[in-house]
Structure 1
Amino acid sequence: MGTSSKRLYYLDSLKYIFCLMIFWAHLAGVFWTLCDPRPALRQELERLFTYPLSVLLDSSLALYGFCILSGYLASFKRTRAQHLLPQLLARYLRFVVPFFFINLVAFILYYTVGYPTAEASALLHNAWLATYYTHAPTIPELLRATVTLDGDLNGPLWMMKYILLGTCIIYLYNALEQKLPLRLFQFSCLAVFVYSFFHLPEPNFFHVHLVLMGLILRKLDDALKAWLTQHEKDGHPLLRFFFLLLVLLPIALDAGGLQRVLYPFFRAHCPAIAPVFIWSAYWVMLFSFSLIVGVMNCPPLQRALEWAPLKRVAPMNFAVYLVHFPLIASLSLHLYLRLVNRISYSKVFVILTVVSFAALFLTSWLYEQSIGKLQDKIVKKITARLAM
């Protein structure tokens, strides 16, 4: 029991950090990195976007890690074949209920304070921002976005349907694993996984595979822990610090090392294979996976992630993800419109960053304590009825 609890604590913290990275990437994207041309910033502020802090701007690294961890945690769900359908329905409802409430909040915000994305995008020269909240949502659209897990009212939630599908496949896998010849079943599933990864039905479908990588992570983690325990008994107490490299190396490469070091090196010495080292989503998947494996097998990092203040706020990681974009599109943009052209943009950027982060921490806590608890009660009541 202690092991699973400990694991949950540091994985919660890791998911929380991933969600903060996504918030920072979106906030910076709105007010600087995705602007063309970019507003003038003081040199010391521009360092926030250079190596190694540039890794914090990679929302893909954080999102992929979030997907992998979602699959990993779902893999612990023991599923019996006769209970599979109710559990899949319960899983769907665990997504739909939070979707409804955050969509309702976003809907109300639109018709009260509003989302000045069009005006702000014109001033910021940010075409990406202009794609959000382009028309007034209706009640039927709110309900449709909820039941289909669409991102119309809260853009970054588009990937939740892939997490849902991936975790449902894991539930199905766990149910069938108990009924079919183990090795043949595992090999067949792995073959389907690899084949489908290179034959996606649509471009974003690989997010399902990221979730399924969480199941692979579970299998790998069990084997690694057994292997490490045996080797530590044989006199290799520092072996786990190797996994620190599995955390630091992908961070260094993702922050710019891949483009600035590896690719130029291979282009100069082995041009035939140099294209392999061009930055791509495949590399980011590997970085996210490596980072998580390293953390899961490096006790010093786990203890750092179990730092008491971090452990206290970490369970709010999902609330952070739910509220962060409506907050940027309303509060942050309204504040920007009040400040722009009145003071230097560097001062505007600092004020926006400080206020937005403070509002995120407060809003996510309030959301978790109010709507979060309400939606949890609703889901528990519904799932309890399904289990009868």
Structure 2
Amino acid sequence: MSGSEMPQPRFRSLDGLRGFACLSVTLFHFFSAFQPRLISEQSVAPYWISDTPLGIFYNGGFAVAVFFVLSGFVVASASASRKRKLSITVARRYFRLALPSAASAVIAWSLLTLTAGTLPDVQAALTHPWMTFVLAHDRLPNLFNAALEGGLYVFVEGSSLLNNVLWTMKIELLGSVAIIAISAFVSGKARITLLILLAVAACALGRPEYSAFMAGALLRECHAAGRLTGSGSLAIFLFAIVVGSWTKGFGDRIGLSLPMTFALGEPHKFWHTLAAVGMVYCAIASVPISRFLSIRPLMFLGRISFGLYLVHVPLLYSLGAIGYLQFGHEGPLELMTLAVLAISVSIIAGYLFTVIVDEPTISGLAKLDRLLHGLGPDGRHTRGRTGNLKTPG
């Protein structure tokens, strides 16, 4: 989801981890829509499986925390390896997120318009909160305002009733800009100290999701210094699995109530962030875990993760809802069939979005970046001090 670029092939495992996290979010939203008893956010008494480590396979809150830590790591890596004007780097990051986000809002608007008569029937059949997080047909904006919502408003308001996953875009942009600015103006031990202080401050203010970016940048600093040795990886991985599987309200269900920031299972708050840091650490430092995360299916999901993240909810609201009304609610087998079809269609749509929207956005911004900085395709300056073009080589 994060919309991050992966400049170093040595971090292939992070793509695999991102792919796993995006699949978890997709499952989370499918169950939120059509089997809410599996999701603690949608049910006061979720099925027991939600309180076991198996819950990590569809724990959207933990997956989002993983996205934020990954973004902190990758944005810090890119900022350290590329010396660019701050204004251009920030603008590039904004458009890197905003262009695909706007495209996804247009897709959501189109699907909701085409299936306008379905949503009331679905909301009548599924009387739980998740299906209300979408605009009814009579309140849909026009096409221009839909694009404006995805490309601008979500970065200000932090929410969308066209495509509810866009709430993360504001956090992604602010967290990324903070890392970019820190990398531009602070170096050495002062940078590490500042990152630690900001991580602590964000937690103290009840916003651990921003601590996740700082923690990801700190992991990058440790990796650059050769301090991610992989020691304790097994214990850290088990910790990440167990804590990352806790879902909303877990602390209350076991009789341990804590403030929201530190509540056990509270989505993408302190404990999820800590577990996500552990997971990213293992993906980088543990050879066995890194190899597993680098398998082709996860790498493919990692490649299309941003596209998959952006398109799967509009598909569930529309085509998935039609499928549910037609046959998905008739029994477990029908629901499983719907799940396979919905996930498969989402993956195909995510791939198409990647090759049509996301990857062209990356390559287009890269070309513009090189042009603005006077660089050639190989990253070398093409202009001398006099401004004349140099000959290759």
TM above 0.5, yes or no, is yes
Cross-structure match for 1:144: 148
Q: Does 1:191 align with 2:197?
A: yes
Q: Does 1:366 align with 2:367?
A: no
Asked if the contact 1:34–1:126 (Cα under 8 Å) also holds between the matched residues in 2, the reply is no
Choose the corresponding residue for 2:365, options 360, 376, 379: 379
Distance of aligned partners of 1:336 and 1:284 in 2 relative to their CA distance in 1, 3 Å threshold: same
Equivalent residue letter for 1:176: F
Equivalent residue letter for 2:211: H
Q: Does 1:160 align with 2:177?
A: no
Asked if the contact 2:111–2:315 (Cα under 8 Å) also holds between the matched residues in 1, the reply is no
Over residues 62-95 of structure 1, what are the superposed CA-to-partner deviations in whole Å (9 max), with x where a residue is unaligned? Answer: 0000111011000012368871111111111111
Choose the corresponding residue for 2:235, options 238, 242, 245: 245
Choose the corresponding residue for 2:296, options 308, 328, 335: 308
Choose the corresponding residue for 1:126, options 125, 128, 135: 128
Distance of aligned partners of 1:171 and 1:276 in 2 relative to their CA distance in 1, 3 Å threshold: closer
Equivalent residue letter for 1:60: G
Q: Does 1:171 align with 2:180?
A: yes
Equivalent residue letter for 1:317: S
Deviation at 1:301, TM superposition (A): 1.0
User: How far apart are the structure 2 equivalents of 1:251 and 1:113?
Assistant: 39
Over residues 93-124 of structure 1, what are the superposed CA-to-partner deviations in whole Å (9 max), with x where a residue is unaligned? Answer: 11111122222222222222348343212212
Over residues 18-68 of structure 1, what are the superposed CA-to-partner deviations in whole Å (9 max), with x where a residue is unaligned? Answer: 00000101111111125999xxxxxxxx78656232222321110000111
Cross-structure match for 1:86: 88
Distance of aligned partners of 1:287 and 1:24 in 2 relative to their CA distance in 1, 3 Å threshold: same
1:213 counterpart SS class: helix
Cross-structure match for 2:61: 60
Distance of aligned partners of 1:96 and 1:259 in 2 relative to their CA distance in 1, 3 Å threshold: closer
User: How far apart are the structure 2 equivalents of 1:293 and 1:68?
Assistant: 10
Deviation at 1:154, TM superposition (A): 1.2
Cross-structure match for 1:211: 213
Asked if the contact 1:115–1:333 (Cα under 8 Å) also holds between the matched residues in 2, the reply is no
Deviation at 1:197, TM superposition (A): 3.1
State the number of aligned residues. Answer: 352
Equivalent residue letter for 1:63: V
Deviation at 1:362, TM superposition (A): 1.4
Q: Which runs of 5+ in 1 are unaligned?
A: 38-45, 229-239
User: How far apart are the structure 2 equivalents of 1:375 and 1:184?
Assistant: 34
Choose the corresponding residue for 2:16, options 9, 13, 29: 13
Equivalent residue letter for 2:74: L
Asked if the contact 1:217–1:293 (Cα under 8 Å) also holds between the matched residues in 2, the reply is yes
Cross-structure match for 2:318: 330
Cα RMSD of the aligned pairs, angstroms, is 3.6
1:132 counterpart SS class: coil
TM-score (norm 2): 0.78
1:19 counterpart SS class: helix
Deviation at 1:311, TM superposition (A): 2.5
Deviation at 1:143, TM superposition (A): 3.6
Q: Which runs of 5+ in 2 are unaligned?
A: 1-6, 41-46, 375-393
Deviation at 1:186, TM superposition (A): 4.2
2:16 counterpart SS class: helix
TM-score (norm 1): 0.79
Asked if the contact 1:116–1:329 (Cα under 8 Å) also holds between the matched residues in 2, the reply is no
User: How far apart are the structure 2 equivalents of 1:227 and 1:57?
Assistant: 28
